[in-house]
């Protein structure tokens, strides 16, 4: 018996209580269970997708490049969370992505390996790099079947693991701090269908892990305010401040010689997407905006005079690739919260903008790619400059609302993902990312969650 009803729960028996059942919460639960710890996962959604559950949680309003339902449609409330619709692209962060983190890639290295395994990926893509052009190297982005954390076979932890209980259609609401402010002593348990609220006390050695997604984690903390002091974790006004999206743009086409840009990979890699990453020096020249260029196989347009000419120039095996950019940040220039959503959660306010420095950096990296192709006479780039500025999409990736750091005045969690000052309160998910990366976040979310589970399994 693993899915439990509220009436049969003895909340004191768990070593940890986790809010949210997506990749972050699921991985914390799985890791703790492996350490023989008992876990309760509390999930707002049910076992099925329900449109009305989505609509009631509007989560974010605001403007900038991402408006309207962009935010709520990218945050799924059901068992398994947003993993029910994710695309499955996985790549580790580069060393340089950790420049402003209190941990480095080497701290995550073993967890990247186990995260790849948990997501059913052959590990070779984690380290494979090949220099293909002056200033650019090739890396593979893993693109296997996306693991749904609601899948009873591939993610068997929720339906079958006796150490992990799951309470559906309940939310972790406002938290209460102890008198001395050193721990969370209670949380509100909210029954979504019944509308009942109950205050649950935490035992001294019980850990509470927030894994409600980048927006959900900020909401829980901001809601934890009894009116007498700052919200829990927000003593320095940092919660919800650094929300970022992950800009995507389709910007060009390459015609090049056969085998010039994409190495022949053995089958051990599984499904992959091909990407070019700027060298460290180009990254610094581009103002430290992390950018990668994803190449997708395309056909040569024989009705186009230029493409026809280039395909003849580069030989019978000439190849064409569409180029799309994934860039590291669209920063929030808005305030943090404004009013409440229909479920009573603080409504986050965001104004995520791809600023002019970022647009210029993408423009610069693309022009550098064009020069490298020309100088090496490997191929030519058709760069659709206008689309950099006019065709900005997002990955539905949200990060940074409870970021990691050593200084409590400029961050929310420490390098163990513990909320500064609260010895039993932890956060899992991309809200703790100190900075983003050009690559998709979930592999790193899972790696960090496994690392947190290892830490918690030793006891707090």
Ligand X SMILES: Cc1cc2nc3c(=O)[nH]c(=O)nc-3n(C[C@H](O)[C@H](O)[C@H](O)COP(=O)(O)OP(=O)(O)OC[C@H]3O[C@@H](n4cnc5c(N)ncnc54)[C@H](O)[C@@H]3O)c2cc1C
β 39-43/164-168 pair status: parallel
Closest to ligand X by CB, 379 or 396: 396
Residue in this structure with the two tokens 């496994």, named with its chain if needed: 450
Q: Is 20 in the site for ligand X (CB under 6 A)?
A: yes
Task: Compute the distance between CA of residue 65 and CA of residue 353 in angstroms, rounded to an integer.
Answer: 5
Q: Map residues 86-125 to x or -, x wherever contact with ligand X holds by CB under 6 A.
A: xxxxx-----------------------------------
* Site stretch for ligand X (CB under 6 A), options 70-78, 122-130, 152-160, 452-460: 70-78
User: What's the min distance (Å) between Cβ of 231 and ligand X?
Assistant: 14
> Which 37-66 positions form the footprint of ligand X (CB under 6 A)?
42-45
C-beta separation of 72 from 60 below 8 A? yes
Q: Which of 62, 81, 252, 278 binds ligand X (CB under 6 A)?
A: 81
- How many angstroms separate the Cα of 380 from the Cα of each of 22, 238, 252, 417, 430? 42, 46, 11, 46, 37
Number of residues that bind ligand X (CB under 6 A): 39
User: What's the min distance (Å) between Cβ of 139 and ligand X?
Assistant: 15
User: What's the min distance (Å) between Cβ of 280 and ligand X?
Assistant: 23
C-beta separation of 421 from 204 below 8 A? no
* Site stretch for ligand X (CB under 6 A), options 83-91, 197-205, 262-270, 295-303: 83-91
Q: In what order do the strands lie in the sheet with 164-168?
A: 164-168, 39-43, 16-19, 207-210, 425-427
Q: Is 394 in the site for ligand X (CB under 6 A)?
A: no
User: What's the min distance (Å) between Cβ of 50 and ligand X?
Assistant: 11
Closest to ligand X by CB, 14 or 75: 75
User: What's the min distance (Å) between Cβ of 300 and ligand X?
Assistant: 28
User: What's the min distance (Å) between Cβ of 343 and ligand X?
Assistant: 9
* Site stretch for ligand X (CB under 6 A), options 29-37, 234-242, 270-278, 435-443: 435-443
Helix (H) or strand (E) holding 395: none
Q: Is 77 in the site for ligand X (CB under 6 A)?
A: yes
What distance lies between CA 442 and its chain's CA centroid? 5
Give the bridge partners for 426, in sequence order: 209, 418
* Site stretch for ligand X (CB under 6 A), options 6-14, 18-26, 285-293, 309-317: 18-26
**Left if phi > 0, otherwise alpha if psi is -120 to 50, otherwise beta: which for 436?**
beta
C-beta separation of 241 from 351 below 8 A? no
Which distant-in-sequence residues (6+ apart) come within 8 Å of 240 by Cβ? 218, 221, 222, 336, 337, 348, 401, 402
User: What's the min distance (Å) between Cβ of 146 and ligand X?
Assistant: 7
β 272-278/291-298 pair status: antiparallel
User: 111: buried, middle or exposed (CB in 10 Å: 19+, 13-18, 0-12)?
Assistant: buried
- How many angstroms separate the Cα of 308 from the Cα of each of 318, 319, 362? 10, 11, 27
Q: What angle do CA 77, 82, 85 make, to 5 degrees?
A: 115
* Site stretch for ligand X (CB under 6 A), options 196-204, 235-243, 348-356, 440-448: 440-448
Q: Is 21 in the site for ligand X (CB under 6 A)?
A: yes
* Site stretch for ligand X (CB under 6 A), options 64-72, 124-132, 206-214, 381-389: 206-214
- Rounded CA Rg of the chain: 23
User: What's the min distance (Å) between Cβ of 444 and ligand X?
Assistant: 8
Q: Is 24 in the site for ligand X (CB under 6 A)?
A: yes
Q: Is 212 in the site for ligand X (CB under 6 A)?
A: yes
User: What's the min distance (Å) between Cβ of 18 and ligand X?
Assistant: 9
Closest to ligand X by CB, 61 or 248: 248
Tell me which residues touch ligand X (CB under 6 A).
19-25, 42-45, 74-75, 77-78, 81-83, 85-90, 171-172, 211-213, 216, 220, 396-397, 429-430, 440-442, 445
């Amino acid at each position: 018996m693993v899915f439990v009803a509220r009436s049969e729960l003895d909340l004191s028996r768990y070593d940890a209580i986790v809010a949210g059942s997506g990749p972050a919460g699921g991985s914390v639960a799985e890791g703790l269970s492996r350490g023989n710890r008992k876990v309760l996962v509390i999930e707002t959604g049910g076992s099925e997708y329900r449109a009305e559950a989505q609509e009631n949680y509007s989560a974010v309003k605001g403007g900038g490049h991402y408006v309207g339902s962009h935010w709520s449609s990218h945050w799924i409330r059901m068992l398994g969370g947003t993993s029910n619709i994710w695309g499955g692209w996985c790549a580790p962060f580069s060393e340089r992505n950790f420049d402003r983190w209190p941990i480095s890639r080497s701290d995550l290295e073993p967890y990247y390996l186990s995260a790849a395994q948990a997501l059913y990926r052959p590990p070779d893509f984690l380290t494979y790099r090949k220099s293909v052009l002056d200033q650019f190297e090739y890396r593979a982005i893993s693109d296997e079947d996306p693991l749904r954390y609601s899948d009873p076979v591939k993610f068997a932890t929720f339906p079958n693991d006796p150490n992990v209980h799951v309470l559906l259609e309940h939310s972790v609401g406002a938290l209460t701090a102890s008198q001395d402010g050193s721990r969370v002593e209670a949380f509100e348990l909210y029954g979504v269908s019944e509308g009942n609220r109950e205050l649950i006390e935490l035992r001294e050695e019980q850990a509470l892990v927030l894994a409600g997604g980048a927006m959900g984690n900020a909401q829980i903390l901001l809601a934890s305010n009894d009116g007498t002091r700052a919200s829990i974790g927000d003593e320095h006004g940092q919660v919800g401040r650094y929300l970022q999206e992950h800009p995507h743009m389709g910007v060009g086409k390459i015609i090049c010689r056969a085998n010039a840009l994409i190495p022949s990979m053995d089958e051990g890699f599984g499904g992959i997407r091909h990407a070019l990453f700027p060298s460290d020096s180009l990254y610094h020249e581009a103002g430290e905006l992390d950018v990668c260029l994803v190449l997708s196989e395309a056909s040569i347009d024989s009705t186009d005079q230029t493409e026809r000419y280039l395909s003849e120039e580069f030989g019978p095996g000439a190849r064409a690739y569409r180029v799309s950019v994934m860039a590291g940040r669209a920063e929030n220039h808005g305030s943090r919260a404004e009013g409440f959503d229909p479920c009573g959660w603080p409504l986050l306010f965001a104004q995520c903008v791809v600023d002019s420095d970022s647009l210029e950096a993408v423009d610069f990296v693309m022009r550098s790619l064009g020069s490298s192709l020309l100088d090496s006479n490997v191929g030519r780039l058709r760069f659709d400059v206008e689309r950099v500025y006019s065709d900005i999409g997002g990955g539905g990736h949200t990060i940074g609302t409870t970021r990691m750091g050593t200084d409590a005045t400029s961050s929310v969690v420490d390098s163990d993902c513990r909320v500064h000052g609260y010895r039993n309160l932890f956060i899992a998910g991309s809200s703790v990312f100190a900075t983003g990366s050009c690559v998709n976040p979930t592999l790193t979310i899972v790696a960090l969650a496994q690392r947190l589970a290892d830490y918690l399994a030793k006891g707090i």
